[in-house]
Structure 1
Amino acid sequence: MKEMSKYNYFHKAVAIVSILTAAQAWAADTDRDSLSVEIEMSGTVSNGKYAPMWTTANRFGMSGNEIKNGYLSAEVGYSRELKHNWRTEIGLELAAGLNTVSDAWIQQAYWDISWTCLNLSIGSRERYGWPLEKNAELTSGWMVEGTNNRPIPQVRGEIKEYWSVPGTAKWLALKGHMAYGYFPDGKWQENFVAPGQKFTRDVLYHSKALMFRLGNKEKFPAEFEFGLMTAAQFGGDLMKKNNDGSVIMQQDMPDGLKDYWKIFIPGRDSRLANVQGNHCGSWNFGLNLYFDEWRVRGYLEHYFEDHSQMFWQYGRWKDGHIGVEINFPKNRWIETIVWEGLNTTDQTGPILYDDVFSFKDIQMSGCDNYYTNGQYLGWQNYGASFGHPMLLGPEYNSDRSNRIISSRVKAQHLGVTGNPTNEWRWRMLMTYSRNWGTYFEPFDNIKKQFCGMAEVSYSPESLRHWDFKIAVAMDRGTYPGNSTGAMMTVRYKFSK
């Protein structure tokens, strides 16, 4: 890296730290409801072609996948209780990175205004476990969208937490959201893709979800959750990069006012090859059981990209993400265990619109090719898969194409965490996956991969604002490959 770049990194870091140090000093003399300041620095050193998977994945796009990378972030958050059940919350997080997808960026910038159970969120904000709750510390990921990439700037109306429906004695509760936003990574795509490759820019975002919960654990030790989430890309431009680095537009996707409604209720569009936009979604199910101090949770996230997997048209569901989480009674060593299984190999089978002469009335809509679309290419943001990280994003593509090279994956995952003392905490993640490529471009042989990480956290009581984490990680296999490395994170957090 050039010396001037290092000089800029240093001054960006100094500026961030100076601003937040001043904010902390100001907070000491105020009577605001809540003000928090957080500064975090993290660095990874490894060998191989890429940094180990679990030093990169599910970190909201902060870490890079290069073998040596790091970042410095600083966050200010403020919230205040208002009269008549109103509440407001604002936050700003700035970051600078070394060997990350951006030199400096705004990680979060949001304003939330809430009244009772309703919330309006404007801007980009990190969100955990929506709409299906999973253990963010131990899970391998979410299928539609999760914690694997930077937050999308959006306007979002929501019921964030389960709200008990009046008149049901707390036996029925619901939550949901509707959002429109914007994918900000168009320039990154243009710089990333190789000459001759396609990319998108100015793409718009839409998502919505509705979840129900049946049960009252105060009366009966079980709860059942179910619901639907859908998400989509629409609008924007499909571009192609020329050999000389210039770009040409290949398709201008519709993004007028009426198209916001068309993306809300998908329908065929004569201007495009199929329905308008790039759609995906999941049916979500959860079962919580409570036994004294034990809690057992099972969940299923069934992923789909069109009607062929959305309903039972093609038989039983074979693709999805299933898991079991066990929370143990308080003890010195093990707090929670999570097991998960992932399968995306079916995709409604290998036949796509097969026009067999003797069966002209039968439409075979297979080859769903998850996370890839004809107009919108990869379901990604800044090179990271927008959904589950085991379907590796374009950042791992040596040909610098904007697509998911292997969408047909089976994986087993185990996560364990413990809290031996008030100062020490540990967690371990282990994942074994098999990768087939895609129906259209299958691998010559099954690529197998193991990804593991062990992490220890130390929060000394004598330094109550500080947290220290050290992780060692190892990948072994053929996709993405072998690597061994370590990651260290230091965090300072002050709140008032």
Structure 2
Amino acid sequence: MLRYCLLTVSFFMSYYFVLGQTKVEIQDSLQAYVSTGTVLSSKSFAPFYLINNQYGEVDGDAPVFLKGEVGYKRTISESWSLLSGLGFRNERFSTYYVRAKFKDWEFTAGRAKRTYGGLPSGLSSGSLAMSENALPLPMIELSLNEFKSVPFTHGYLKFRGSLRQSWMEEDRYISKALLHGKTFYGMADLDDLIGLQISSGIVHFAQYGGVSPQGDKQPSSLNDYFRVFMGRGIHNPDGSSAGEGNAIGNHLGLTEFTFRKRLGDHTLSLNYQKPFEDAGSIQFISFKDFLIGLEWGLPKREYLVSKFYVEVVRTKWQSGRGLPDPTDDIQTEEDNRGNEFGERDDIYNNYLYRSGWTYNDQVIGNPLILTYQHTLNFLDPYPDYGVAIANNRLTALHIGIEGNFSSKITYKGLFTYSKNFGTYAGIYEGRFNWGGIDRDPSFEYVFLPAKKQVYTSVEVSYNQAFNLKPLGLNLRLANDSGELYNAFGLEMSVLYRLSNY
């Protein structure tokens, strides 16, 4: 119902804005494009970079596509503006939203493309919190997206943040789960003094509520929401701290640092992300699980290369190999093979919210972490241990580059090498178990030994093709190779842009 209401509102706002073009100059603006093309693959599924980090729009089973986006903006005053947008690919509507903006503050309702964590260039493999990978969730959000000065600090200290509420799909293990999200960042802005900006923040998400397959409704009252907001639980009758006694719902997110330094006409940006799955794994610095990316922005006069990016991802440790909590058979650290309890974080998985950190079967965070369903495209059936994510322990080296061959021809290249270790649950035959390789060194598991895989993509865009300003041509080649599978594919498309300014 929310979807169709927002589509209706978006349509009438857009219709009103279009009519307003004849009466109001400058105050109204329109941007739109439509493209059509084809996706071809040597496999039954598209290669990694043809389907991932596309906001969930790409259907690997559709060889031909029609795609479009339209956005309208009405500027009411210097402080107020209203926006509306709609986007689709074939029959899938990826975006439909309305937005009100007052000075630096924005209120958004609908499906709007958002990322949380990481640098904004689009050269990363994907944020560990919310990347460009999955279809945007229906939401309402209040946000301060640009850094705002803290009073009386002369602009040297700044902050930004957001608060959102989202709704997950019905077809998942916990049906119609809710999603709480918030961010907060602070910045020391010394750009005018020494060309340096240092920012740090936290991204927090929590799945809660919904209905289990047995028909049990999970806590979702207003009081439960405040507990979710604060990361608090409900005391169990037996006095234990298991399950909802820790915290209501499935909590995850990241802590982040970003350093940006101007060096003449060049810019160096360093981004560091540390993922967490519970309060015990919240750390601002870790050399065991992290994403760290370094971006070099070149001056515009450097024609061939405009940005170069290198990234290292590691999610192999996950607080260690010990059990998350004691069990009936494993009560002490000695029983736990000498490890502390509270380990095996099982990134993007959860014992109750078994569909994990996914939406419409696509990973919401970094797509190098593979779903069980996707791995069945190239692996024989194997135990899933009741969770959606089959490969969340990995190391990866990722490189991105973009630039211009000419004033009209641009390119973007991506290269990713990953080493995939599966999950602790797979290695030990259960997240709360010491089986598998602990009992049998010759234990067979699809990610033993670890599987190496390479994903590459090269995209070339020809803007203002044939001297026609609205027309664009795009070609993207992708190749996956390694010990998981080999696949080659391409996407060709023609694009036509419309704009009234």
TM range (shorter): 0.7 to 0.9
State the Cα distance separating 1:27 from its structure 2 match. 7.7
Consecutive unaligned residues of structure 2, counting only runs of 5 or more, are 1-11, 237-241, 428-446
Residues in 1 aligned to 2:209 and 2:63: alpha-carbon distance in whole angstroms: 34
Residues in 1 aligned to 2:448 and 2:491: alpha-carbon distance in whole angstroms: 34
- Partner of residue 297, structure 1: 269
State the SS of the aligned residue for 1:215: strand
Provide the alpha-carbon RMSD of the alignment: 2.6
State the Cα deviation string for residues 52-110 of structure 1 (Å, max 9, x = none).
Answer: 101111110111344x54432332211112235111111122332xxxxxxx2321111
Letter in 2 for 1:283: T
Per the alignment, do residues 250 and 363 of structure 1 end up closer, same or farther by CA in structure 2, a change over 3 Å counting? farther
Q: Which of residues 163, 171, 190 in structure 2 aligns to 1:216?
A: 190
- Partner of residue 243, structure 2: 273
State the Cα distance separating 1:25 from its structure 2 match. 8.3
State the Cα distance separating 1:237 from its structure 2 match. 1.6
State the SS of the aligned residue for 2:425: coil
Residues in 1 aligned to 2:286 and 2:137: alpha-carbon distance in whole angstroms: 33
Establish whether residue 457 from structure 1 lines up as the match of residue 434 from structure 2. no
State the Cα distance separating 1:433 from its structure 2 match. 0.3
Q: Percent identity?
A: 24
Per the alignment, do residues 375 and 294 of structure 1 end up closer, same or farther by CA in structure 2, a change over 3 Å counting? same
Residues in 2 aligned to 1:30 and 1:450: alpha-carbon distance in whole angstroms: 55
Consecutive unaligned residues of structure 1, counting only runs of 5 or more, are 1-18, 97-103, 190-198, 240-248
- Partner of residue 466, structure 1: 471
Residues in 1 aligned to 2:297 and 2:403: alpha-carbon distance in whole angstroms: 10
Establish whether residue 93 from structure 1 lines up as the match of residue 84 from structure 2. no
Stretch moving more, 57-66 or 277-286:
57-66
TM-score, normalising length: structure 2: 0.83
Residues in 2 aligned to 1:25 and 1:182: alpha-carbon distance in whole angstroms: 31
- Partner of residue 11, structure 1: none
State the Cα distance separating 1:238 from its structure 2 match. 2.4
**Would you say the 8 A contact 1:450–1:477 is kept in 2?**
yes
Q: Which of residues 294, 300, 318 in structure 2 aligns to 1:347?
A: 318
- Partner of residue 53, structure 1: 48
State the SS of the aligned residue for 2:312: strand
**Would you say the 8 A contact 1:49–1:482 is kept in 2?**
no
**Would you say the 8 A contact 2:227–2:233 is kept in 1?**
no
- Partner of residue 319, structure 1: 289
- Partner of residue 97, structure 2: 110
State the Cα deviation string for residues 372-408 of structure 1 (Å, max 9, x = none).
Answer: 1111112101111110000013440425976100110
- Partner of residue 435, structure 2: none
Per the alignment, do residues 39 and 338 of structure 1 end up closer, same or farther by CA in structure 2, a change over 3 Å counting? same
TM-score, normalising length: structure 1: 0.84
**Would you say the 8 A contact 2:74–2:82 is kept in 1?**
yes
Whichever structure has more strand as a proportion of its residues is 1
State the Cα distance separating 1:265 from its structure 2 match. 0.9
State the Cα distance separating 1:318 from its structure 2 match. 1.3
Q: Which of residues 329, 334, 342 in structure 1 aligns to 2:305?
A: 334
Per the alignment, do residues 364 and 333 of structure 1 end up closer, same or farther by CA in structure 2, a change over 3 Å counting? same
The number of residues matched between the two structures is 444
State the Cα deviation string for residues 297-350 of structure 1 (Å, max 9, x = none).
Answer: 0110110101221038xx944111100000112222111100000000000111
Q: Which of residues 266, 279, 284 in structure 2 aligns to 1:307?
A: 279
Establish whether residue 264 from structure 1 lines up as the match of residue 229 from structure 2. yes
State the SS of the aligned residue for 1:178: strand
Establish whether residue 393 from structure 1 lines up as the match of residue 363 from structure 2. no
- Partner of residue 445, structure 1: 449
Residues in 1 aligned to 2:334 and 2:374: alpha-carbon distance in whole angstroms: 43
Q: Which of residues 475, 481, 486 in structure 2 aligns to 1:476?
A: 481
- Partner of residue 6, structure 1: none
Residues in 2 aligned to 1:341 and 1:229: alpha-carbon distance in whole angstroms: 20
Residues in 2 aligned to 1:473 and 1:131: alpha-carbon distance in whole angstroms: 26
Letter in 2 for 1:56: I
State the Cα distance separating 1:24 from its structure 2 match. 11
State the Cα distance separating 1:438 from its structure 2 match. 0.6
Q: Any runs of at least 4 consecutive aligned residues in structure 1 with deviations exceeding 6 A, and if so which?
A: 21-25, 357-362
State the Cα distance separating 1:269 from its structure 2 match. 2.5
State the Cα distance separating 1:139 from its structure 2 match. 1.1
**Would you say the 8 A contact 1:309–1:317 is kept in 2?**
no
- Partner of residue 8, structure 1: none
State the Cα distance separating 1:363 from its structure 2 match. 5.1
- Partner of residue 146, structure 2: 161
State the Cα distance separating 1:175 from its structure 2 match. 0.8
State the Cα deviation string for residues 357-380 of structure 1 (Å, max 9, x = none).
Answer: 779999521111111111111210
Residues in 2 aligned to 1:54 and 1:369: alpha-carbon distance in whole angstroms: 25
